[in-house]
Structure 1
Amino acid sequence: MKKLKVGVICYPSLGGSGVVATELGIMMANKGHEMHFITSSMPFRFLNAHPNMQFHEVTIEGYSVFKYPPYDIALANRIAQVIESEGLDLLHVHYAMPHAVSAALGKDMAGSDIGVITTLHGTDVTILGYDPALRNTVRYGINKSTIVTAVSESLKQDTINLIDPNKEIRVIYNFIDEETYVPRDAGTLRSDLGILEDEKVIIHISNFRDVKNIPDIVKSFHEITKTLDAKLLLVGEGPEKENIIKLVDELNLQDKVIFTGKRNDMSELLAISDVMFHLSSKEAFGLVLLEALACGVPSIATNVGGIPEVIEDGVNGFIVPYGNIDAAVEKGLLLLEDEELYAKFKRNGFITVKEKFHSSGIVDQYEELYYEVAGK
């Protein structure tokens, strides 16, 4: 079949959507498709040397007439330029706002009838969708798309309930790079971080926003340390970090909680971890949960959003009610102290990744969509 030229619009950050968009681009490039990333900076994990991947930077000029630089307009302009200069067959945008809106405008500017696939990742619906001032804009971006996908059944339902679009929404799950996220030897990382041989390790990875509910993780960990020796790895940065540090100090956990900052050795960090805690109040999918399962780390996670579509309660981890610290502590101790149960969850986690979320099957689903949209 014809190899396609695909324009990709995403956030070039370490967030889940940017990672998935880039990994998908890499795998599509490996299949021979030309992938053109139109973003404000080079995406994380972008393979600059790959002959089938190109980066088109969105530059924003500052003008005194604007209080804030108009990124969405600059993006639309760059999309129009790349549609024309590269002869794109379709656009794949990640997030309805602003990316799908900018794609619609860029198409018009280029006088093109190019098809647009919009993938919803969560924030554009579960946060912006609650804002009456933005809901219509999100709906506009979705309705202007040719095909819309969501990363979980939960997000699909939230979109229908909150946004009420006139487009069908198809569910295509997230995936991970199975070559990166595997059980591995982490070398001296454990001792480098000051973790003793007999200590259990609980890990949390996020962007430290309020929605991640990290205080409940710290409080749960505090209770767990009353029963067994453990360390808590908090991996990431974000606006809630200072509040978390304050709570750690109040609970006198300074010697037991390790703030690693942003890291690019996630699989090694997971290799030295026993359990992941992920107690979010909202989560469209929870990519880190899938990464953890692939590395042999079960999770204690909340019953919100798409999390139960990744973590099956009592099979590859435990699901607890949001805000219920006692339940999180109970399940965490059960998993950390029962070696037979732990081994079972670990095996089941590998099965979940292979059978439900393997990249090959999910990339094939996207490729079918690409040909469907390019043929319209």
Structure 2
Amino acid sequence: MKILYLMTEPFGYGGVQSDLLALSEDLSEKGHDVLVATSEGELLEELKSKGATFMDIDFHFSSPLKFFKSAMALRKSIRENGVELLAPQSVRTTLVAFFALRLLPFSYRVKKNGKRCPIVTTIHNIHNPVHFKYAGYILNRCADYVIFESHYERNRLLASGLPAEKSEVVHSGIDTDKFAPIDVNQTLLESYGLDKSVNKIFGIVARLSEEKGHQYLLQAFRKVLEQEPHARLMVVGDGPLKEELLAQRAELQLENEVIFTGAQRNIPDYLSIFDVFVLSSTRESFPLAAREAMAAGKPVIAPRIGGCPEVVDENNTGYLFKSADVDDLSRQMLAILADEKYKQFGIKSRQRVVELFSRKQWIVGDERVYLGFN
């Protein structure tokens, strides 16, 4: 089956991009032809290495003329490549797909069955309230079917008018071979001056941006140190708030206790160092980093927002806290260290990901939906 994915953002670092790398690799291995239409980014060569064909189409339009050009370029690519299913990854690209396939004259038909080319959208998250206002209507009108990454997002859209029979949840999955419990990377640990016999290490892997809530985590960790002076916090990632967060670290006098590592590719090695993974976001849909940490056998502390309660089974795989509440976050961080069961949380975290959020289950689920339109 020839499947064409449509992405709004360039093919750089990000959750949707990570998903498409996995889908491209696994669906190609299953014999499908995978094509991806988006603009260039840092991970483009990796995408190609997974078996996908890249099409340079910019869906980040800001005017009706650019929208029309995107739709025309998409239509041309669909015809030239004999696409059999269109898989937009956003409301915006769903709208372009509908215009290209249904509204432009001389409608396109799939060659082998003479049917219309189906539009099967995947919704990861819709954070923009203006976009969300119209999302239910656009998806109902423009998509033949909608796959949601989380029940949280599906329930939001059902409440805004999307018919239940036009959608289902297929959780995006984690490579449980890549993200698995491993021995502590001792060399890496010692390079940061840490000692597992002395230090309890909290860690976060996230872009240094406003919605990830690092500023609240730093404040909460300051409180944690009052009772656990040997605790340490490792911040993995880079982003626009780096200098601001470094200044906050200095202001809180945490230069020796909080480590900023910058962006890293060997995330499993960093997870091996952590005792507890902390997600401090103020906005989340279905957090990838938390699921990766759980697959690696780590207990997780996460905010009680979005799809986080779907991921973290409270009091079994970790704790939840009120988003942006420094006192509540610090309480949960101290509580998990004091809980004799916290190592069991990590074991249960791994089990939960294997049972509910594995990459194999995800690929099988998406493929089943796609083939239903074949």
Instruction: Classify the TM-score, shorter chain.
Output: 0.7 to 0.9
Q: CA deviation at 1:5?
A: 0.7
Q: What SS class does the counterpart of residue 119 from structure 2 fall into?
A: strand
Over 3 Å counting, the alpha-carbon distance change for 1:299 and 1:67 in structure 2 is: closer
Please tell me whether the aligned partners of residues 24 and 47 of structure 2 are also in contact (alpha carbons under 8 angstroms).
Answer: no
**What residue is the counterpart of 2:274 in the other structure?**
273
Q: TM-score of the superposition, structure 1-length normalised?
A: 0.86
**What residue is the counterpart of 1:14 in the other structure?**
13
**What residue is the counterpart of 2:111 in the other structure?**
none
Paired with 1:33 and 1:187, the residues of 2 have a C-alpha distance of 42
Equivalence map 1:159-238=2 (5 Å): 159-161=157-159, 163-166=160-163, 168-185=166-183, 186-197=185-196, 198-228=198-228, 229-238=230-239
Over 3 Å counting, the alpha-carbon distance change for 1:330 and 1:39 in structure 2 is: same
Within the candidate set 125, 132, 135, 2:133 is matched to 135
Q: Structure 1 residue 105 and structure 2 residue 103: aligned?
A: no
Paired with 2:298 and 2:222, the residues of 1 have a C-alpha distance of 20
Over 3 Å counting, the alpha-carbon distance change for 1:213 and 1:70 in structure 2 is: farther
Q: CA deviation at 1:349?
A: 0.7
Q: What SS class does the counterpart of residue 373 from structure 2 fall into?
A: helix
**What residue is the counterpart of 1:365 in the other structure?**
365
Q: CA deviation at 1:265?
A: 1.1
What code does the residue aligned with 1:116 have?
Answer: I
What code does the residue aligned with 1:192 have?
Answer: S
Over 3 Å counting, the alpha-carbon distance change for 1:100 and 1:271 in structure 2 is: same
Paired with 1:250 and 1:69, the residues of 2 have a C-alpha distance of 48
Q: CA deviation at 1:104?
A: 1.8
Over 3 Å counting, the alpha-carbon distance change for 1:201 and 1:71 in structure 2 is: farther
Q: CA deviation at 1:218?
A: 0.8
Q: CA deviation at 1:166?
A: 5.0
Over 3 Å counting, the alpha-carbon distance change for 1:352 and 1:59 in structure 2 is: closer
Within the candidate set 62, 77, 81, 2:76 is matched to 81
Q: CA deviation at 1:323?
A: 3.1
Q: TM-score of the superposition, structure 2-length normalised?
A: 0.87
Paired with 1:177 and 1:151, the residues of 2 have a C-alpha distance of 16
Over 3 Å counting, the alpha-carbon distance change for 1:134 and 1:226 in structure 2 is: closer
Q: CA deviation at 1:171?
A: 1.1
Paired with 2:365 and 2:281, the residues of 1 have a C-alpha distance of 29
Over 3 Å counting, the alpha-carbon distance change for 1:187 and 1:86 in structure 2 is: farther
Q: CA deviation at 1:31?
A: 1.0
Q: What SS class does the counterpart of residue 238 from structure 2 fall into?
A: coil
**What residue is the counterpart of 1:333 in the other structure?**
334
Q: What SS class does the counterpart of residue 115 from structure 1 fall into?
A: coil
What code does the residue aligned with 2:212 have?
Answer: K
Paired with 1:38 and 1:246, the residues of 2 have a C-alpha distance of 40
Which shifted more, 298-307 or 187-196?
187-196
What code does the residue aligned with 1:31 have?
Answer: K
Q: CA deviation at 1:45?
A: 7.9
Q: What SS class does the counterpart of residue 154 from structure 1 fall into?
A: helix
Please tell me whether the aligned partners of residues 117 and 373 of structure 1 are also in contact (alpha carbons under 8 angstroms).
Answer: no
What per-residue deviation string (whole Å, max 9, x for no partner) do you get for residues 240-264 of structure 1?
3333222212101122222222221
**What residue is the counterpart of 2:112 in the other structure?**
none
Please tell me whether the aligned partners of residues 176 and 359 of structure 2 are also in contact (alpha carbons under 8 angstroms).
Answer: yes
- Percent identical: 23
What per-residue deviation string (whole Å, max 9, x for no partner) do you get for residues 11-51 of structure 1?
4232212211221221111111111111212546835345x
Q: RMSD over aligned Cα, in angstroms?
A: 2.6
Q: CA deviation at 1:60?
A: 9.1
Q: CA deviation at 1:68?
A: 7.8
Q: CA deviation at 1:268?
A: 1.1
Paired with 1:366 and 1:189, the residues of 2 have a C-alpha distance of 37
Q: What SS class does the counterpart of residue 6 from structure 1 fall into?
A: strand
**What residue is the counterpart of 1:354 in the other structure?**
354
Paired with 1:139 and 1:264, the residues of 2 have a C-alpha distance of 39
Equivalence map 1:259-298=2 (5 Å): 259-298=260-299
What code does the residue aligned with 1:255 have?
Answer: N
Please tell me whether the aligned partners of residues 19 and 45 of structure 1 are also in contact (alpha carbons under 8 angstroms).
Answer: no
Q: How many residues align?
A: 358
**Unaligned runs of at least 5 residues, structure 2:** 109-115
Q: What SS class does the counterpart of residue 372 from structure 2 fall into?
A: helix
